[in-house]
Amino acid sequence: MSDADLSNDVDAPCPKKLKVSQDKENGVNDNQLQLKDFIPEKTLNNNTSRKTVCIQGKFKDKSGVALILLEKNAFKEEHLNNGSGYFTEHTELLTYFQNDIYGNYECFPQSSLNGVKTTIIYPATEKHIAKFSAQNIHLIAETPELYEKLTLPHIEKEQFNLQWVYNILEGKSEQDRVVYDNKCEKEGFVLVPDLKWDGLTKETLYLLAIIRQRGIKSLRDLDASHLPLLKRVRDEGKKIILDKYCVPGSQLRIYLHYQPSFYHLHIHFTYLRHEAPGIYAEKAHLLDSVISNLEMMGDYYKKATLPFTVREMDNIFNVYETNGHLQRIKPNIENIELIDK
């Protein structure tokens, strides 16, 4: 899968990461898990602002923990035109109240517009459970010294398995989802839809450029020698997205995450109007700014202090807490943040 949030643990079997869909001709695939067999046990996170929820449970007659992520789909422009979509004889209104010129209703459109994006992680690991749970969040100002002493050893010990990334790069899986493939080993990359995007709705456009060159874990590893690679990803990515999705480069948000969710360099492309997870200042670094910084100082990211967020259930929180850089917040329901990385 191309979504970092759903990467599998190093020591755990690869989870089955399935986006539930209906096969119009042949019905349900034999290997597809069914929600009718899911037994909910606990709600890990109910994010009312993003209209997402993560539920922990298990599947009937199967061992292991499962996570179900449900997300309300964005509105599509073609469904908002007169005479189609929401404005047809199939749409019903339930009246809550009417007062003068104001009316409050609940709308029941045709069933084809009511799909809920669904992701299954099975079997889920403790890291997946921690990642999707609502919890306290802290900000770290990571100096180069802290990176070398605390963060890097943790990354090398704890990071998710990258085999799913190599499967994409080597053409072993998800080839039907590849939007663009530059096979140059030094400056090439594969452009694929992020799992959070359905691949169709312009309003939520979200793609990942996964670079072919191995050994570049994150922003910290970049230097001036990588400028040709970064510029190629930016320029070719913009051209492909314009040609395929009719979204110009001036309407794209192109950025890197720090810390990233998986440690193989990848770059995010999202529609500027889409408030995608992880676009905030403490996590997202615009690619143009990264390029500019490296042009001014070739080893900028080896010397810079970089912010990143950690949650109290993350193992790296324990590392920084043990070394006196963080303090755990005492349990208080009012302090819990519903976050979506």
Instruction: Give the torsion sign (CA, 115, 119, 120, 126).
Output: negative
Query: Does 239 score more than 70 pLDDT?
Result: yes
Domain boundaries along the sequence of the chain: 4-73, 77-108, 135-322
Give the predicted TM-score (pTM) of the model. 0.69
- Omega prior to 123 cis, within 30 of 0: yes
State the catalytic residues: 266
Q: For the segment 70-87, what is each residue's pLDDT rounded down to a tens digit?
A: 988 878 877 887 677 888
With beta carbons less than 8 A apart as the criterion, state whether 121 and 69 touch: yes
- Residues annotated in the binding site for substrate, as ranges? 164, 174, 194, 196, 257-268
- Residues annotated in the binding site, as ranges? 164, 174, 194, 196, 257-268
End-to-end CA distance of the chain: 17
Q: For the segment 166-189, what is each residue's pLDDT rounded down to a tens digit?
A: 999 999 988 999 999 999 999 999
With beta carbons less than 8 A apart as the criterion, state whether 118 and 19 touch: yes
pLDDT of residue 237: 98
Q: 122: Cβ–Cβ under 8 A, 6 or more apart, which residues?
A: 15, 16, 18, 33, 59, 62, 64, 65, 66, 67
Coil, strand or helix at 273: coil
CA distance 97 to 286: 46
- Dmax of the chain from CA atoms? 66
- What is 135-322's CATH number, 3.30.428.10, 3.20.20.60, 3.40.50.300, 3.90.1150.10? 3.30.428.10
